[in-house]
């Protein structure tokens, strides 16, 4: 049973705080193992990667077979049904159309003092995308990570995907092909992250690593952060649905379950203005749990972390939502746009009852890599911005230096940084006395 809360009850604040602070994930401490793996890859390069792949994935590779060959990819892709291919291509086209609008613009202007200022955006030179193997090997995640990188203009984009016992999901390869991925390595785990960050004889190092992974991958990403850029370390998925009574309880139940089925640690919360509707949704969840393929996972998630909260009005709902700062927020109310204006912290908002969150996972266009665990308070989903960086530009004329240089000199002196001040005053001296 999920928890049922009601804002009119005296113990609500205490119960809500407990819900907010519930620890959903116990990450095993794999830091020592990961440190050893990274050290091994830095020291022995390919040889270490090959040994670790033989050990963990039961797969004997050589430097020549670390990467998929073009023909191999062609052969795997040929296995994909035309319907699956069409669906992937539609998704890719829509994701691309959304992300091209995110490309930030360069700027340059001259200010009243005569200083020319601005900035320029450029893509990272090489990015690596980690794709999990096995059950969590989602072709949609390949699109969501690879397309923003290619839209950003990243010239070299590679993927690492473990293929335990040599098994690969052809849809993953097709998604990589559609997205324009340049290299695909059949390696995984901390050894893949180490190879991407430090490079080996066969795998050139990249500058940025993104993509989800297990505890070993997450720990390895934390460790190489600084040597390369990384995206956020993602936690278990979450959804918050705010719904009034004018909804089909079964639709809302399915939306809640579409997060719960991801992971036993996922969290699905319903906030409603109508207690009876909340009860009806809970019953609909139980009914769907009788037959759902992933009922075991979804059932545990709903039981341990699910919640149904009854509120007095939608203003109260929006305020609670901001305290939750959900990864996914569905607004199934009469005026979803109006309600969305009163919400500040959310990774992605799905407006109205015709927008189930699952649309956003695949074909909506916005990215499905989103901030979890309340981090929407301070961070954003994956975007083109993750694959570009900004260089600021400044050019002074002699007149501009004359106008603002003395203030720089003064501040340098107040900070006891004499050379800073001298680098300005030496030039000002020349300006004031060209013959000197």
231 in Cβ contact with 247 (< 8 Å): no
When binding is defined by CB under 8 A, the residue of 23, 26, 378, 436 that contacts a second copy is 378
Catalytic residue among 328, 330, 357, 368: 328
**Cβ burial, residue 291 (10 Å; 0-12/13-18/19+):** exposed
Neighbours of 249 (CB within 10 A): 21
Which stretches of 290-397 are DSSP H helices?
Answer: 295-305, 314-324, 336-340, 357-362
When binding is defined by CB under 8 A, the residue of 18, 28, 394, 432 that contacts a second copy is 394
Tell the smallest beta-carbon distance from residue 393 to a second copy (Å): 5
Q: Which residues inside 247-276 make contact with a second copy, applying CB under 8 A?
A: 248, 250-251, 254-255, 257-258, 260-262
Binding-site residue set:
130, 191, 214, 237, 259, 262, 328, 361, 415, 420
Interaction between residue 396 and a second copy (CB under 8 A): yes
- 327 is known as an active-site residue: yes
Interaction between residue 164 and a second copy (CB under 8 A): no
When binding is defined by CB under 8 A, the residue of 424, 432, 434, 435 that contacts a second copy is 424
Point out which span in 184-192, 193-201, 312-320, 423-431 binds a second copy (CB under 8 A): 423-431
Interaction between residue 24 and a second copy (CB under 8 A): no
* Alpha carbons 360 and 339: distance in angstroms, whole number: 19
Calculate the alpha carbon distances from 385 to 76, 99, 143, 148, 168 in Å.
32, 10, 16, 8, 30
Calculate the alpha carbon distances from 307 to 20, 177, 343, 362 in Å.
11, 41, 20, 26
Calculate the alpha carbon distances from 324 to 44, 271, 278, 328 in Å.
45, 11, 19, 11
When binding is defined by CB under 8 A, the residue of 53, 192, 361, 384 that contacts a second copy is 361
403 in Cβ contact with 112 (< 8 Å): no
* Alpha carbons 164 and 74: distance in angstroms, whole number: 20
120 in Cβ contact with 393 (< 8 Å): yes
Point out which span in 182-190, 223-231, 270-278, 313-321 binds a second copy (CB under 8 A): 223-231
Whichever of 54 and 393 has its CB closer to a second copy, that residue is 393
32 in Cβ contact with 43 (< 8 Å): no
Q: Which residues inside 281-300 make contact with a second copy, applying CB under 8 A?
A: 288, 292-294, 298
Q: Three-state DSSP class for 79?
A: coil
Task: Work out whether strand 229-230 and strand 267-272 pair parallel, antiparallel, or are unpaired.
Answer: unpaired
Catalytic residue among 327, 330, 357, 368: 327
Point out which span in 2-10, 16-24, 65-73, 368-376 binds a second copy (CB under 8 A): 368-376
Binding-site residue set for Zn(2+):
259, 262, 361, 420
Whichever of 64 and 414 has its CB closer to a second copy, that residue is 414
Tell the smallest beta-carbon distance from residue 227 to a second copy (Å): 9
When binding is defined by CB under 8 A, the residue of 122, 245, 342, 432 that contacts a second copy is 122
**Interface characters, 316-355, with a second copy (x: CB under 8 A):** --------------------xx--x--xxxxxxxxxxxxx
**Interface characters, 175-214, with a second copy (x: CB under 8 A):** --------------------------------xx------
Which stretches of 238-377 are DSSP H helices?
Answer: 249-260, 275-289, 295-305, 314-324, 336-340, 357-362
Interaction between residue 98 and a second copy (CB under 8 A): yes
Q: Which residues inside 32-71 make contact with a second copy, applying CB under 8 A?
A: none
Torsion angle in degrees (nearest 10) through CA of 217, 218, 224, 226: 150
Residues assigned a catalytic role: 327-328
């Amino acid at each position: 049973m999920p928890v049922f809360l009601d804002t009119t009850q005296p113990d609500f604040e205490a119960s809500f705080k407990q819900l907010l602070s519930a620890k959903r994930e116990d990450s095993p401490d794999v830091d020592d193992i990961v440190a050893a793996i990274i050290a091994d890859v830095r020291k022995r390069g390919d040889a270490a990667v090959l040994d670790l792949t033989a050990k963990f994935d039961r797969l004997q590779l050589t430097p020549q077979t670390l990467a998929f060959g073009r023909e191999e990819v062609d052969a795997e892709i040929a296995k994909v049904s035309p319907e699956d291919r069409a669906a992937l291509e539609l998704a890719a086209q829509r994701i691309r159309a959304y992300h091209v609008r995110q490309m930030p613009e360069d700027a340059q202007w001259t200010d009243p003092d005569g200083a020319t200022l601005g900035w320029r955006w450029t893509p990272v030179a090489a990015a690596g995308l980690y794709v999990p193997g096995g059950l969590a090997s989602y072709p949609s995640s390949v699109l969501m990570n690879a397309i923003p990188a290619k839209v950003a203009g990243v010239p070299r984009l590679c993927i690492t995907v473990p293929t335990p016992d040599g098994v690969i999901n052809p849809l993953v390869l097709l998604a990589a092909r559609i997205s324009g991925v340049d290299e695909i390595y059949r390696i995984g785990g901390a050894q893949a992250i180490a190879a991407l960050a430090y490079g080996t004889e066969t795998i050139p190092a990249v500058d940025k690593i993104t993509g989800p992974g297990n505890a070993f991958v997450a720990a390895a990403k934390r460790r190489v952060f600084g040597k390369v850029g990384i995206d956020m370390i993602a936690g278990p998925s979450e959804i918050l649905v705010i719904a009034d009574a004018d909804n089909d309880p079964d639709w809302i139940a399915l939306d809640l379950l579409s997060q719960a089925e991801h992971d036993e640690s996922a969290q699905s919360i319903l906030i409603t203005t109508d207690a009876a509707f909340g009860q009806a949704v809970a019953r609909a969840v139980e009914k769907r749990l009788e037959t759902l393929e992933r009922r075991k996972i979804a059932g545990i998630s709903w039981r341990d972390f699910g919640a149904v909260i009854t509120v007095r009005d939608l203003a109260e709902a929006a305020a609670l939502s901001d305290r939750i700062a959900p990864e996914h927020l569905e607004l199934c109310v009469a005026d979803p746009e109006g309600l969305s204006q009163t919400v500040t912290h959310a990774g992605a908002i799905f407006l109205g009852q015709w927008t189930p969150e699952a649309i956003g996972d695949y074909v909506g266009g916005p990215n499905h890599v989103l901030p979890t665990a309340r981090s929407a308070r301070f961070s954003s989903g994956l975007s083109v911005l993750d694959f570009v960086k900004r260089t600021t530009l400044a050019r002074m004329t002699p007149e501009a230096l004359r106008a603002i240089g003395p203030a720089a000199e003064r501040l340098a002196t107040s900070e006891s940084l004499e050379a800073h001040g001298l680098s300005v005053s030496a030039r000002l001296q020349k300006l004031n006395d060209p013959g000197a």
